[in-house]
Structure 1
Amino acid sequence: MAASLTGNPMRISPLPPLPNLVAFEAAMRHGSFTRAAAELHLTQSAISRQVAQLEDFLGRKLFIREPRALRLTVSGQRYAEVVQRLLVGCAEATEDVMKVRSHTALTVACSSGVAVLWLTPRLASFREAHPEIQLRLTVNDSLASLSPAEFDIGMYYLREGPPPGLAARRLYGEEVFPVCAPGYLNGRTLAPAALANETLLMLDDGQRQWMSWQTWLANQGLPDATLRNVLTSNQYPILLQLAMEGHGIVLGWRHMIDACLREGLLVRASEASASLGGGYYAVWPRDRMEPAAARAFRSWLVRQATPAPA
C-alpha cells in the first residue's frame, strides 16, 4: 500500500540504506565496481561492500561476478530498472527544489550583537563587490537552535566547536574588557575589585555562551565577588546602548565594539581583560553543496578579519 501525504503517517518499509542503492545503480550502469568507485569517489572495496550489504538485505544475489565484468541476475535486472527510475526521479525532484532559490540568493545568519555591531557597518563593501547577490540577513542569538537548512553561512561567537552538521573557520580571537560611557567614570579606570561596586550591565543567565561578569571577575582572581547592582537584558546591543547612555558598565568584546571605542561612544572602564579561548567564527552547513554566493561571502569575511598591514 502506498504511503499517503494525508491522514495517518505510514513508515516506508522495507527500505535499504540509500548509499547501498546508489552504489548498486552505479555498478549496474558501468558493469564494474572499479568504474563505479571512480564515479562516486570511493574505493572499489567500498562499492563491493555496499552492494554485498544490499544483497544481504534483499536475500538475493544481484550480480554474477565474472573476472572482468559484472552481469545482473534476473532479480538484479528487475530491481535495477526500478531503482534507477526512482533515483533519477529523486535527483530531478531535488534539482527542482534547489532551483526555487536563485543561485545568487544568500542567507546569512548571525546573532543580534554581530549584526548590529560588526556586520551591518561593513555590508556596503560586500554589496559593492557583489551587486548580483540577493542578500537575506536572519538574526538568531542561538546558533544551536538554527537548522542548517535555514542559512547558507553565518558568523557566530563559539567557545567550543560548532554544532553537529556545521563546519567553521575562526575569524577573531576573544578579548573581553569592561567599557562605559566617557562621563560615567569621568576618565578614571578601576581595578577589577572596584567594579563589583558599580552598576553592572549583564546578559541574562540564558546567554551562557558569552562570558558573564562572574566569570570575568573570577578570571581576575575574584571568584567570590558580590555584584551589588545589576541591570540585565537578553539582548547585547541593548546593554551597549544602556552603557553609552551612562547607566553602568558592560563587558565589551574586542572587534565587536571597536567602532564604539574609535568614535568615543565608549571607553575602557578597566585596563584588565580576559579570555576563555572562544572567538568569532564563520560557520556553514557541512554536508550541503556550497553555493558560489556563500563561498564569496566566506572569503569576504576572512578578508575583513585579516589585520591590515602596518
Structure 2
Amino acid sequence: MPDIDNPYGIFARYSADLSLFLLVADCGQLSRAAELAGLSQPRLSQRMKSLEEALGKGLLRRERRGVALTRDGQALRAALAPHLGEAAAGFARFQRPARRRTVVIETDLAFASLRFLPVFPSLCAAFPELGLSLLTRQLPEAGADREADLRIRMEPRQEESERTCCLFPERVMAVCSPGFLAAHPGLARPDPLQGLPLIELTSEHGAPWFTWSNWLEQLGPEPEVRGGGERISFNSYDHVIQAAEKGLGVALGWRGLIDSRLETGALVPALPAAARAEIESGHGYMLRMLARQPGEELRAVYAWIRDNFSG
C-alpha cells in the first residue's frame, strides 16, 4: 500500500481526533473536554466513536461519572502522550512572540520629566529591538537595584570609567518668569531676594543637590543676600518649574534641566548681571552601568545616553 511508506500521511488523517482523545483521557469527562476543545459534547462523542471505528478498537468506556480508558485506550495514550504533549508545548512556544530584551533606566523625577522624556522617543528609535523602560524615583538609591540596568543620579562627581561618566555638573542659578521679573524691579538692587517668594523642592535632610539655604550661602555671606520671603514648596521639581513659569516666585534652575526654558524665554535669570552667578558644586548627574557583566546591547544604550547628554 502506498501509505505504508508515508507515516505522516497516515498520521495526518487521525491527528486531530488523536489530540481530542488525549484531551478526553486527561479530563476523564467528555463534557469538560468538549468545553476545552470548543465543541459540543455530542460532536466530541461522535468523533471519538469515529476514531474507534477507524482503528477497529474500543478506546473509551462510558461510566456514570465520565469515561475511563480501555486497555487499548491506555496503550494508545502511552504511545502518544509524551510525543504529542511535547509537540503541543513546542508549537505553543513557537506561536508566542519572542520576548524582547529589556533595559531598565532609573533616574530621578526631575531629570526624567525635564531632560529625558523629550529625547526618549529618539532613544527607542535607535534601539527598536530592545524594550526600554524608564523607572523614576524622587531620589534613586545609591545601592544596586535589581530592577535597573542603568542609573542616572545626582551624586558626587567621580573619575570616569567604562561604566561611569558625568553627564553634566550641577550648576544652579536663580530663575523666574519674565512677568515676575518685570513686576519686581527690586531684583536689580544689591539685596535682590529680600522679601521675595522663593519656590523650593522639598527633600529630606542631606539631599544631594542645592537647596535655597546652601545655594544662598554660596552666593554671598551678607544676610540680606541670604534672605527671601515666603517659601513655596513642591515635592516635584517639574512643579517647581511650572510655578516659576506662572510667576509665583523665584526658583533654583539647574542648567542641563531648564536650558530649553531659558532658550524659549519661558524662564529668565532672576538676578542682575553683576550677581547672576551660576554656582557649581562638586556634584553632577552621573550615569552608571549597574550590571556586573553588561552585554553589548546595554553598553550601546549607555554609550547613546553618554554621547547625547554629556557636555
TM bracket, shorter-chain basis? 0.5 to 0.7
Shift of 1:113: 0.4
1:301–1:266 CA distance, 2 compared to 1 (3 A): same
Number of the residue aligned with 1:125 = 122
Answer yes or no: is the 8 Å Cα contact 1:105–1:293 preserved in 2: no
Shift of 1:305: 2.5
Please tell me whether residue 176 in structure 1 is matched to residue 176 in structure 2.
no
Answer yes or no: is the 8 Å Cα contact 1:103–1:292 preserved in 2: no
2:282 counterpart (277, 282, 301): 277
Q: State the Cα RMSD in Å.
A: 2.6
Q: After the TM superposition, which residues 107-256 of structure 1 pair with which residues of structure 2 at under 5 Å, given as runs?
A: 107-144=104-141, 147-159=144-156, 168-186=164-182, 190=188, 193-206=191-204, 208-222=207-221, 224=223, 225-256=226-257
Shift of 1:205: 4.0
Deviations 1:37-93 (A, max 9, x none): xxxxxxxxxxxxxxxxxxxxxxxxxxxxxxxxxxxxxxxxxxxxxxxxxxxxxxxxx
Provide the rounded CA distance (Å) in 2 between the counterparts of 1:113 and 1:203: 10
Structure (1 or 2) with the larger CA radius of gyration: 2
Answer yes or no: is the 8 Å Cα contact 1:180–1:268 preserved in 2: yes
* Percent identity of paired positions between Structure 1 and Structure 2: 26
Answer yes or no: is the 8 Å Cα contact 2:208–2:283 preserved in 1: no
Please report the TM-score for the alignment, with normalisation by the length of structure 2: 0.59
Which range is displaced more, 287-296 or 132-141?
A: 287-296
1:160–1:255 CA distance, 2 compared to 1 (3 A): closer
Provide the rounded CA distance (Å) in 2 between the counterparts of 1:103 and 1:197: 55
Secondary structure in 2 matching 1:135:
strand
Answer yes or no: is the 8 Å Cα contact 1:109–1:139 preserved in 2: yes
Please tell me whether residue 267 in structure 1 is matched to residue 265 in structure 2.
no
Answer yes or no: is the 8 Å Cα contact 1:106–1:134 preserved in 2: yes
Number of the residue aligned with 1:70 = none
Answer yes or no: is the 8 Å Cα contact 2:172–2:252 preserved in 1: yes
1:205–1:143 CA distance, 2 compared to 1 (3 A): closer
1:296–1:190 CA distance, 2 compared to 1 (3 A): farther
Answer yes or no: is the 8 Å Cα contact 1:193–1:222 preserved in 2: no
Answer yes or no: is the 8 Å Cα contact 1:148–1:284 preserved in 2: no
Provide the rounded CA distance (Å) in 2 between the counterparts of 1:159 and 1:193: 31
Provide the rounded CA distance (Å) in 2 between the counterparts of 1:173 and 1:195: 25
The structure carrying a bigger helix percent of its residues is 2
Count of residue correspondences: 203
Answer yes or no: is the 8 Å Cα contact 1:192–1:217 preserved in 2: no
Which letter does structure 1 place at the counterpart of 2:108?
Answer: S
Please tell me whether residue 290 in structure 1 is matched to residue 294 in structure 2.
yes
Deviations 1:275-308 (A, max 9, x none): 12211111221x622133321221111111345x
Shift of 1:111: 0.5
1:273–1:300 CA distance, 2 compared to 1 (3 A): same
Please tell me whether residue 299 in structure 1 is matched to residue 303 in structure 2.
yes
1:205–1:119 CA distance, 2 compared to 1 (3 A): closer
Provide the rounded CA distance (Å) in 2 between the counterparts of 1:191 and 1:305: 36
Provide the rounded CA distance (Å) in 1 between the counterparts of 2:303 and 2:190: 39
Shift of 1:196: 3.6
Shift of 1:103: 6.1
1:191–1:154 CA distance, 2 compared to 1 (3 A): farther
1:104–1:192 CA distance, 2 compared to 1 (3 A): farther
Provide the rounded CA distance (Å) in 2 between the counterparts of 1:206 and 1:268: 27
Please report the TM-score for the alignment, with normalisation by the length of structure 1: 0.60
1:141–1:161 CA distance, 2 compared to 1 (3 A): farther
Provide the rounded CA distance (Å) in 1 between the counterparts of 2:296 and 2:257: 27
**Runs of 5+ consecutive residues of structure 2 not aligned to the other structure:** 1-97
Which letter does structure 2 place at the counterpart of 1:221?
Answer: G
Shift of 1:193: 3.3
Number of the residue aligned with 2:84 = none
Secondary structure in 1 matching 2:151:
strand
Secondary structure in 1 matching 2:180:
coil
